[in-house]
Each structure stands twice: as structure tokens, then as C-alpha cells.
């Protein structure tokens, strides 16, 4: 029974070690954006008081401008769907590229749509790979532009430079690709990299946005500063979610962390039971052989030899 117990404990300890190693590797995965110092507030504009793209556009642009001007705030932006969040607007945007043939006449390339206020990418620390980022004039009439990530380039532009290409999108119209940005693991550290398409908020202003701020202060203070500006603009509005990127990253790996802790706990219990079992068997064996051990030592066996025999 002790042999079986030790064998099972060894299996559990091996599995726990592998689980710890896998979790450590998962924790080191680069999400593609800044992990610390970023606070997020989800704000949804009621359609009864904010009707149409123009009203949404004016509100969020003014809010982020006011927040950026606040002392201690290093950057502020907004996005239609924040990484790791279940709130916000998320959908696949079909598109075609002018001058390039599609693989199938009935299927168009698709990418995850991200409507952003220009400062969002800098605030989140999403790197620019090539080209340029958005500026405050992009998205206005006659300056429809878009950014694509590396996964989209690898998938749909394997042998073509996407910079300067014109893409056609439903609802968002035509836009020129002006830059390539880094990939982000939008649905969690375990998720695959997906094609992403960033469009200036001015081109299609939605009512639900995640406002993000990067600040050199406690996240609660940063959130309070944003709420102060929000109340100053509209006392009836309140964020539906206040969190940090670090907290969302931690939550995204909660299940693997729980599985690791559970397996490590079971392995530790099994190892403890095996140790107790071995000690009990050895103790009983020594008690049964007390007379024999005395005879051995009387005949000249040394203490070291006796202990080695028992061990």
C-alpha cells in the first residue's frame, strides 16, 4: 500500500510541477500592450440624450481632451472594446482591398474592428511597427484612414506592402492604411493572435466606449479624476465598469491559476500522506526488530551501520 501511495504521490507531484511551469510560461506571455499603470472606465451614452454619431463623437473627444489636460495624467484615449473585457462593441469587419483580387468572390477578408480615439494606442503602449499612428485630423471628411496589425498583414498581405492601400468596409466606407501596429492578445493570454483593424473614432462614433488613462498615481485616484470630468460634463452619467489592465490580465488567467493551485494542493497532501505512511511502516518495523537490533549492536554493529540498515 505504501508503494502504491508513493507512486501516486510522485505522479501528482510531477503533474503539479508541469502545471506550475506552464502557468509560469503563461504569465510571461506578452499581451502586446502596457500591463501596469492603465485604468479603464466603461461609459455608455444613453440614446435618449445622445442621438447619432456626431453627439457621441463630440462627447468622448471632449472627455478625453479634458482628462489629458489633468495634472498627473500621462495619456488618455478610448476604444470600442478593451482587451480582456466582456463589455463594449466587438464584431468582425469584412473588407476588400482595392486593386487586389480576393480568394473567393463570395467571401471577403475579415478582421476584428476597433474604433479608437487617436491617443488610445499610445496610452495602451501598443507599438507602431511601420507607418504612422492616427492624429487628431484623421477621420474627418476626406481623411478616412485605418491601421492594421501584424497578424492581418501576415494573413492578407503576405507579399504586398499594405501601407497606402485602400480598403472598403461596410458602414465605415473606404480608408487608406497608414500604419502597422503590434499584435494584441485581445481575448486573454491563452488566445490566438487575430487580424485587427483600427479605425479613428470620428469615422464611426459608437455610444459605448472604454476610456483608458495612463497615470503615474494610484489607479483609484486616476479613476476619480476621470469621474470628476465626467460629472462636470454630464452629472447623470456614471461608469458601468472601473478596473485596471493589471486586474483584467489577472482575471484572464484565473482559471489556470486555480487549476494549478488545486493540483499543487492535492500533490502536497499526497506527499504528506506518503511521508506519514513511510514513517509509520519504518517505525513499526523498528519496534518489531528492537531485540534483533540490540543483539546486532552487542555483537559489534556500529550505530552508523544500524541506522543505514533501517534507512
Lowest-confidence pick of 43-47, 136-140, 149-153, 206-210:
136-140
Read out DSSP for 82-150? -TT-S-S---EEE-EETTS--SBTTB--EEEEEEE-TTHHHHHTPPEEEE----TTTTSTT--EEEEEH
The Cα-based distances of 290 to 189, 279, 284, 285 in angstroms read: 60, 16, 10, 9
Report pLDDT for 17.
92
Q: How confident is the model at residue 105 (pLDDT cuts 50, 70, 90)?
A: very low
Q: Give, to the nearest 10 degrees, the angle between helix 303-310 and helix 290-298.
A: 150
Torsion of CA 219, 220, 226, 232, to 10 degrees: -170
Closest residue by Cα to residue 92 from 197, 174, 173, 165: 197
199-256 confidence digits (pLDDT tens) = 888 777 788 899 999 998 899 999 999 999 999 998 988 888 899 999 988 888 889 9
For the segment 60-70, what is each residue's pLDDT rounded down to a tens digit?
A: 989 999 998 88
Contact 157, 217 (CB under 8 A): no
Give the cell for residue 148: 492594421
For the entire predicted model, the pTM comes to 0.78
The string of DSSP codes covering 186-249 is: TT-TTSPP--EEEEEGGGS--SEEEEEEEESS-HHHHHHHHHHHHHHH-TT---SEEEEHHHHH
32-70 core/surface letters (b: 16 or more CB in 10 A; e: else)? bbbeebbbbbbbbbeeeebeeeeebbebbbebbebbeee
* Main-chain dihedrals φ then ψ at residue 243, nearest 5 degrees: -155, -175
Amino acid at each position: 500500500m505504501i508503494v502504491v501511495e508513493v507512486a501516486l504521490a510522485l505522479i501528482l507531484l510531477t503533474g503539479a510541477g508541469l502545471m506550475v511551469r506552464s502557468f509560469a510560461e503563461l504569465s510571461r506571455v506578452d499581451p502586446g500592450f502596457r500591463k501596469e499603470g492603465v485604468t479603464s472606465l466603461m461609459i455608455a451614452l444613453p440614446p435618449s440624450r445622445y442621438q447619432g454619431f456626431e453627439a457621441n463623437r463630440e462627447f468622448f473627444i471632449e472627455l478625453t481632451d479634458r482628462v489629458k489636460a489633468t495634472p498627473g495624467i500621462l495619456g488618455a484615449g478610448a476604444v470600442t472594446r478593451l482587451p480582456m473585457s466582456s463589455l463594449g462593441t466587438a464584431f468582425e469587419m469584412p473588407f476588400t482591398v482595392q486593386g487586389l483580387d480576393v480568394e473567393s468572390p463570395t467571401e471577403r477578408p475579415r478582421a476584428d474592428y476597433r474604433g479608437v480615439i487617436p491617443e488610445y494606442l499610445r496610452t495602451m503602449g501598443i507599438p507602431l511597427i511601420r507607418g504612422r499612428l492616427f492624429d487628431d485630423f484623421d477621420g474627418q471628411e476626406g481623411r478616412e484612414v485605418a491601421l492594421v496589425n501584424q497578424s492581418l498583414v501576415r494573413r492578407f498581405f503576405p507579399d504586398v506592402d499594405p501601407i497606402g492601400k485602400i480598403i472598403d468596409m461596410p458602414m465605415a466606407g473606404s480608408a487608406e492604411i497608414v500604419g502597422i501596429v503590434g499584435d494584441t492578445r485581445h481575448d486573454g493570454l491563452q488566445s490566438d493572435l487575430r487580424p485587427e483593424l483600427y479605425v479613428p473614432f470620428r469615422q464611426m462614433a459608437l455610444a459605448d466606449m472604454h476610456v483608458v488613462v495612463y497615470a503615474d498615481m494610484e489607479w483609484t485616484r486616476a479613476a476619480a479624476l476621470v469621474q470628476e470630468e465626467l460629472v462636470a460634463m454630464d452629472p447623470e452619467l456614471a461608469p458601468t465598469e472601473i478596473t485596471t489592465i493589471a486586474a483584467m490580465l489577472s482575471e484572464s488567467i484565473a482559471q489556470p491559476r486555480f487549476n494549478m493551485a488545486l493540483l499543487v494542493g492535492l500533490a502536497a497532501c499526497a506527499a504528506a500522506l506518503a511521508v506519514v505512511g513511510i514513517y509509520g511502516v519504518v517505525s513499526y518495523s523498528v519496534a518489531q526488530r528492537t531485540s534483533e537490533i540490540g543483539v546486532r549492536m552487542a555483537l559489534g554493529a556500529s550505530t552508523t551501520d544500524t541506522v543505514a540498515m533501517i534507512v
